Amino acid sequence: KQEVTQIPAALSVPEGENLVLNCSFTDSAIYNLQWFRQDPGKGLTSLLLIQSSQREQTSGRLNASLDKSSGRSTLYIAASQPGDSATYLCALRGGSSNTGKLIFGQGTTLQVKP
């Protein structure tokens, strides 16, 4: 059974720091992996999607990597800002097609202090 783990559960950093959020999974047979951001009481905003054949994706100050062989994905946030404060969720779709269920990690709650 696929399990997704995010470490740390919470992180507090001063503004301007570069930081890395980690996501690990137990079964390397994944279709794709998606990073989401969630503000308190709000829906999920998709940040980056990495297909199983890709190693990384970049959007602005965000970079996500995927290493299926080691069962890991990282989300790198450069020059963090107070507006980056939110919960970050990784979610993967297992199997070999886009019909697999999305499996979420528990999330990392990030606080960026001014």
Partner 1 sequence: DTEVTQTPKHLVMGMTNKKSLKCEQHMGHRAMYWYKQKAKKPPELMFVYSYEKLSINESVPSRFSPECPNSSLLNLHLHALQPEDSALYLCASGRTGGLDYGYTFGSGTRLTVV
User: Is 5 a binder of partner 1 (CB under 8 A)?
Assistant: no
CA 13 – CA 6 distance, rounded (Å) = 17
The CB-of-79 to partner 1 minimum distance in angstroms stands at 25
Closest CA to 16 of 100, 77, 91: 77
Structure tokens, 99: 């019909």
Which residues make beta-bridge pairs with 73?
23, 66
Give CA separation, 97 vs 19, 51, 68, 71, 102, in Å.
32, 11, 16, 18, 12
Q: Which of 93, 94, 110, 112 binds partner 1 (CB under 8 A)?
A: 93
Q: Which of 107, 108, 110, 112 binds partner 1 (CB under 8 A)?
A: 107
Q: Which of 12, 18, 26, 45 binds partner 1 (CB under 8 A)?
A: 45
User: Is 18 a binder of partner 1 (CB under 8 A)?
Assistant: no
Q: Which of 14, 43, 60, 83 binds partner 1 (CB under 8 A)?
A: 43
Q: Which of 30, 34, 77, 110 binds partner 1 (CB under 8 A)?
A: 34
Which residues make beta-bridge pairs with 65?
56, 74
| Residues binding partner 1 (CB under 8 A) | 31-32, 34, 36, 41-46, 49, 51, 89, 91, 93, 98-99, 101-102, 104-107
